[in-house]
Structure 1
Amino acid sequence: MTQYKIPESVLVVIYTPAMNVLVMARTDKPEFWQSVTGSRDTPDEPLLQTAVREVAEETGIDAACGVLTDWQLRNVYEIYPVWRHRYAPGVTQNTEHVFGLCVPEGTAVTLAPREHLRYRWLPWREAADLCFSPSNTEAILLLPRYHQPEIMSAL
């Protein structure tokens, strides 16, 4: 039996108190840079748990080392045709839930080699310019609205 992806996912913008953002190049499309993304494992998996799991799987970062916040943003978008085979027949749209994770400067990154080739920490505007996904770009451009320096200064 084929295990299809659930068309509900998280997008996690990982950034530092100085608003440098982690972006990663995809293994299957090296020209595509992105933040952490991933689908729920089960329909009832809490979105916060999905975000924590995906961050750990893709970057090796334990979300407990920083401050993870649900930005209460939802994006519904058309799934790129190149990736539709991962979803049940007839599924063409995904609902994405946006989170931010502020981590200390110098946080180590260990990429999942099946998912990403390389990574960069970039100032937020440069990171936004590099992303291939419009919703990822938009989320990074919203970072100044969600960044909370008073909470992040404890990192």
Structure 2
Amino acid sequence: MGRSYKQPVSVLVVIYTLDLQVLLLERADQPGLWQSVTGSRDGEETLLQTAVREVAEETGLETQCFQLSDWGYQNTFSIYPQWRHRYAPGITENTEHVFGLMLPKILPIIVSPREHLGYTWLSVEAAAEKCFSPSNAEAIRRLIR
């Protein structure tokens, strides 16, 4: 059986509340790097299925209880060098499809310890400032535009 590489197609899910508190997760593999829910598509799943799965895996939230929406745009960016080994040789770019998940209020989160060290809820601007990824920060700022 050959090596299973990640697909260079992913989702970014900005989780936020009605009063615009934004959830950020701290990466376990890079302490100090904060982000929204992200993850690569598995197999033939749709992007919506990827978003639902990643939110459940990374936060314990069931998206069907809330308002999950496809924001209708994507970002293509260079894969950070420290993560290129996860992709097939020669793959240097990823296309990230952006979704939002609106919650009625701040809810308890159950992080996957394999992926994240912890979480925080921040205002839009504070969350955008704390994100290490420019495309993630831009997606968060869209909440106030």
TM-score (norm 2): 0.97
Question: Quick check: 1:3 aligned with 2:4?
Answer: yes
Q: What is the aligned partner in structure 1 of residue 35 from structure 2? A: 34
| Cα shift at 1:64 | 1.3
| Cα shift at 1:24 | 0.7
Q: Tell me, yes or no, if the aligned pair for 2:21 and 2:106 is still in contact at 8 Å.
A: no
Question: Quick check: 1:93 aligned with 2:100?
Answer: no
Q: What is the aligned partner in structure 1 of residue 136 from structure 2? A: 136
| Cα shift at 1:144 | 2.4
| Cα shift at 1:104 | 2.1
Residues 33-70 of structure 1 deviation map (CA, whole Å, 9 limit, x = unaligned):
0000000001x311001000000000101111210000
Question: Quick check: 1:12 aligned with 2:24?
Answer: no
User: 1:6-155 to 2 correspondence within 5 Å?
Assistant: 6-42=7-43, 44-145=44-145
- Return the letter of the residue paired with 1:82: Q
5+ long unaligned stretches in structure 2: none
Of stretches 85-94 and 97-106 in structure 1, the one that deviates more from structure 2 is 97-106
- 3-state SS of paired residue (1:56): helix
Runs of 4+ in 1 over 6 A off after TM superposition: none
Report the identity percentage.
Answer: 60
Residues 1-56 of structure 1 deviation map (CA, whole Å, 9 limit, x = unaligned):
111000000000000000100001100111100000000001x3110010000000
- Separation (CA, whole Å) in 2 of partners of 1:124 and 1:18: 10
Q: Tell me, yes or no, if the aligned pair for 2:77 and 2:94 is still in contact at 8 Å.
A: yes
Aligned length: 144
| Cα shift at 1:105 | 1.0
5+ long unaligned stretches in structure 1: 146-155
| Cα shift at 1:106 | 3.2
| Cα shift at 1:73 | 1.1
CA RMSD, aligned part only?
0.8
- 3-state SS of paired residue (1:49): helix
- Separation (CA, whole Å) in 1 of partners of 2:60 and 2:42: 18
